[in-house]
Structure 1
Amino acid sequence: MTDRYGADVLAGDWRRPARGRSVDLPAEPGTVVEEVETGWVGAVVRVEKAGGVHVVHLEDRRGRVRGFPLGPGFLVDGSPVRLVPPQAAARVRLDAARAATDRTASGSRAVHGQRARVASGSRIFVEGKHDAELVEKVWGDDLRVEGVVVEMLDGVDDLAGAIRDFDPGPGRRMGVLVDHLVPGSKETRVVEAARGLQPWAPHVLVVGHPYVDVWQSVKPGRLGMDAWPVVPRETSWKHGVAAHLGWPHDTQADMARAWRRILASVGSWTDLEPELLGRVEELIDFVTAPGS
């Protein structure tokens, strides 16, 4: 006799997800997975413990690396997996792979197991807090290995005075990064006068980028824009940017949060414009040259 109502829909494993249940998969180097929430696809390059949480770092086909909490939420060939720490026997292979492929945010080969050097006599100076935080995020690992400290000038109006106060000389070089260093600007006139100061000139390198503010050195695509907005002269540039992005901008706290959002969009040197990258690398080379 035909069962007109069909089979019992509750029979069997009716709670089973359409893609199947997750299975444990050791996060071995080279394993290619997809992170479900973001769609990020990459190969495992390393697993580490940060803040009590295991993090797996995935490198995509463009060489970009992002970290994700180890555990569920990954796919392999469309099937769900739960990433677990590599087996103890694979630890040696993981360390070897990490040493061979790991990079700092600046793109330099990472150095593991080495303490930061005692600060050298040479310094890099930037105009303000945001400049310093961006340099730290991208080049911080490199600078600690070299023992180079980044200091803030709070503007360059008295750059000549800052040079005299620092008193650079042999073994004590001074590198300076200036915002909005373009022909005809106030910054250009200040820098030209400071570059010729004697007897310090041979031990000072002042370079700059063309951006109104270091915010603008972040690629606009990282914030969902085709280009940074043109802000009227009568409007504060940062406030104009925050307004364009639809972010609160009435108070100093609002602007601080806006910067944190911009800084959070930077994961490595690939998120910055070449005009800033080249100048910072030039300063690092200058202050870390033999004998400096």
Structure 2
Amino acid sequence: MTSTSPGAPGRTSPADRYGDDVLATDWRAPRRGRATEQAADLGLVVEEVTTDWCGEVVAVDRDLHTVTLEDRRRKRRTFPLGPGFLLEGRPVVLHAPVHRTVPAAPTRTASGSLAVPDAPARVARASRIFVEGRHDAELVEKVWGDDLRVEGVVVEYLGGVDDLADHLRDFRPGPGRRVGVLVDHLVKGSKESRIAQAVARGPMGPHVLVVGHPFVDVWQAVKPQRLGFQRWPDVPRHLDWKKGTCQLLGWPHRDQADVARAWKHVLGGVRGYQDLEPELLGRVEELIDFVTAG
């Protein structure tokens, strides 16, 4: 083979008989380029690649890790944040925007009481409040936590109402050592109501108050309007209530991690007592009054 001079355009040189080395470039790079991080700011227009849905970002839910896009016909669809989007034809990985704000010092607690800035927690009283269910306990802490610390009331998690008798036996309620108990689904004829009646009739009855809300799950004690819908769905009895609720609301519901994120979303929507149903508010206030009396 005859080679040409090294400088001739379009020709190979003796030192490079086979042309450019294709491996010298990033031959594995996607045709549209590599994805870059992009904040899902409101008003950003992106395309979801698996559905070709193109729309403007109108909502981002940090707890559910989702983004809602509205197309030109004003129809909306929700997608998981992350990879799988195009911005002006280039792949991007969407993430929730970062907002750095300094909140003002509150003048009232989440329960509506007058806030006492920098008030030290009171030495714990002998009395206690038992709360059935981890989510119930987290909700009580969020709304009444500041008040309870000022009053020196400790809240203890109760795994189930069936464990109540054992807890009371260990705690030994008596004068100056009261116990308030908050249970789920305390309605007439239920197992919970029978247990509450048995406690009231027993020797510890004068020192124990068992109250409850009528909801299947404490999620329902959060006003649905605060979360963007009008009413909690009716979940068929054969479905797990939490997973069924997530499914009917269009939230991720595949596993327990999805349920945990959904609860974080629900709890995150609660700013204070105004976001809760009165059936829960009254019962918790009743318990606080009972254990702090005397």
TM-score under structure 2 length normalisation? 0.64
Give yes or no for contact 1:160–1:197 (8 Å, CA) kept in 2: no
1:54-73 Cα offsets, whole Å, 9 max, x none, are: 3347xxxxxxxxxxxxxxxx
1:192 maps to 197
Q: How does 1:145-224 map to 2 (within 5 A)?
A: 145-198=150-203, 200-224=204-228
Give the one of 255, 259, 262 matched to 2:263: 259
Contiguous gaps of at least 5 residues in structure 1: 1-36, 39-51, 58-97
| RMSD (Å), alpha carbons | 1.8
2:103 maps to 55
Q: How does 1:86-97 map to 2 (within 5 A)?
A: none
1:174-223 Cα offsets, whole Å, 9 max, x none, are: 0000110011212111211122221x111100001100111110001112
1:118 maps to 123
Give yes or no for contact 2:133–2:160 (8 Å, CA) kept in 1: yes
Give the one of 132, 151, 156 matched to 2:137: 132
Runs in 1 of length 4+ with deviation above 4 angstroms?
Answer: none
Q: How many residues align?
A: 197
Task: State the identity %.
Answer: 67
SS in 2 for 1:283: helix
Report the structure number with the largest CA radius of gyration. 2
- The CA distance in 2 between the partners of 1:183 and 1:276, in whole Å, is 17
The Cα shift of 1:113 comes to: 3.2
The Cα shift of 1:161 comes to: 2.1
1:239 maps to 243
The Cα shift of 1:170 comes to: 1.2
1:226 maps to 230
SS in 2 for 1:54: coil
Alignment partner of 1:276 is 2:284:
no
- The CA distance in 1 between the partners of 2:292 and 2:180, in whole Å, is 10
The Cα shift of 1:235 comes to: 0.5
Give yes or no for contact 1:242–1:249 (8 Å, CA) kept in 2: yes
- The CA distance in 1 between the partners of 2:272 and 2:285, in whole Å, is 14
Counterpart of 1:54, as a letter, is V
Give yes or no for contact 1:126–1:176 (8 Å, CA) kept in 2: yes
The Cα shift of 1:53 comes to: 5.6
SS in 2 for 1:165: helix
SS in 2 for 1:176: strand
- The CA distance in 1 between the partners of 2:229 and 2:110, in whole Å, is 23
- The CA distance in 1 between the partners of 2:104 and 2:195, in whole Å, is 47
Give yes or no for contact 1:159–1:191 (8 Å, CA) kept in 2: no
